[in-house]
Amino acid sequence: MEQSDKAVPSPCIGVCRLDESGQVCAGCHRTLDEIAAWSGYRAEQKEQVWRRLLALPLPVQRKTCARCGSGFTCGAGGEQGGCWCADLPRDLSPLAADSDCLCPACLQKQLAQGAPR
């Protein structure tokens, strides 16, 4: 195996169970064939699987703000069809945070203050 093959991490998140179809992992969303062949894939093949996985729509979830406790929707409402938080500056987006999401109001307050979360 070449060094570049080792640089492509597995999408596995340790939630290994099949979805209703019985053909796709509910955790990482790889097909059974992709899971079985992963260790033998070249880097290009692994990257192709990652591209497919990253193109999947995010699941829409109801969450509770870690700061104020209000409920909000995560995974929808953004300009590009994804989560609304992806439209915020990268330094405030929960994608760059150590903790879970904040609601839109708390993130907007944080943006106005200009302080890191």
Chain segment 31-87, per-residue pLDDT in tens: 999 999 999 999 999 999 999 998 887 778 888 888 899 998 888 888 877 777 777
The tokens describing 87, both together, are: 């439209």
- Tokens 């597995």 found at: 10
Length of the chain: 117
Query: Of 32, 98, 52, which Cα lies nearest the Cα of 116?
Result: 98
User: Measured between alpha carbons, how far is 103 from 100 in angstroms, rounded to an integer?
Assistant: 10
Cβ atoms 24, 59 nearer than 8 A: no
Report field, pTM of the whole predicted structure over 0.75? no
